[in-house]
Structure 1
Amino acid sequence: MNEDAIAPDAAAPVWLYDGLCVFCSRWVLFVLSREKAPLIRFVAFQSDEGRALAARYGVDPDDTDSFLFIEDGKALEKSDGVAAVCARLRRPWSFAALMTVFPRSLRDWGYDLVARNRHLLTGKRAYCMAPPPEWRARVTPPDALI
């Protein structure tokens, strides 16, 4: 059995992402193909589960200029979330987690710049990306688009 096809358990870390954003969807596929171990669950803000998780952590699921990385009940936003995800990637990609040596204000400024312009960079779609079959158990798309 393909290791990526193994469904993670409910305690697995969760990445809440904008399921309609091309940039975000490409990052989901990037991480899926470069994780050290297939553990992260990817949940679209536009899904019922995503909306509930966003509300639990005080994020408006209709204003998705950020993503959340939830691990052990703690939600990390912006550059802290990016660093946590990068730390779970294979080398050389995991070295990006070293961004935490820079002040959070500087890292978050860069994050916000990209987040505000992501639709200009790659566009937005009216439907969610369809992950390859071996990853479908780990990706929750927007409910209205299934």
Structure 2
Amino acid sequence: MNEKHKIILFDGVCNLCNGAVTYIIKHDKKNVFKFAALQSEIGKQLVAKFNIDTEKVDSIILIDDEKHYEKSSAALHITKNLSGAYPLLFGFMIVPKFIRNAVYDYIARNRYKWFGKKESCMIPTKELKAKFL
């Protein structure tokens, strides 16, 4: 089984990020994505491989083959692979990146205050374990 999956790195202690991962799994009908917490060993290895500064990007990162997307670009690229009308959201890529990322950064900065934080990373259920690296 040598399938190529896109990898979503996420903040494993963030309630908003964990909710987003659960939501993505539910709408990933084609089984496109695998997941790893930024705090996990594989997460740290991928961050190092792609030379990602986690001081600047600490929420969601999408790795697609040898490319990676950060912040709003990652979120919008993820929507392209979801079921339903979600791929239409990719149209927001026409909004200049500095505007998209300003909104994204505002939410990311306040995510713990608004949505809370876990003491440790999410532990996937037995059924979902195959989706995680």
TM-score of the aligned structures, taking structure 2 as reference length: 0.90
Q: Which residue of 1 aligns with 2:92?
A: 99
The 2-side partners of 1:38 and 1:47 are apart by 21
Could you say if the C-alpha distance between residues 127 and 10 of structure 1 is closer, same or farther in structure 2, counting changes exceeding 3 Å?
farther
Structure 1 position 135 matched with structure 2 position 128: yes
Task: Give unpaired runs (5+ residues) of structure 1.
Answer: 1-7, 141-146
1:16, 1:42 within 8 Å by CA — same for their partners in 2? yes
Number of corresponding residues: 133
The Cα of 1:9 is off from its aligned counterpart by 4.5
The 2-side partners of 1:10 and 1:58 are apart by 25
The 2-side partners of 1:138 and 1:62 are apart by 26
The Cα of 1:107 is off from its aligned counterpart by 0.6
The Cα of 1:63 is off from its aligned counterpart by 6.5
Tell me which of 12, 37, 42 is aligned to 1:19: 12
1:45, 1:64 within 8 Å by CA — same for their partners in 2? no
Tell me which of 38, 45, 50 is aligned to 1:52: 45
Percent identity of paired positions between Structure 1 and Structure 2: 29
Structure 1 position 90 matched with structure 2 position 83: yes
The Cα of 1:62 is off from its aligned counterpart by 6.9
TM-score of the aligned structures, taking structure 1 as reference length: 0.82
Task: Give unpaired runs (5+ residues) of structure 2.
Answer: none
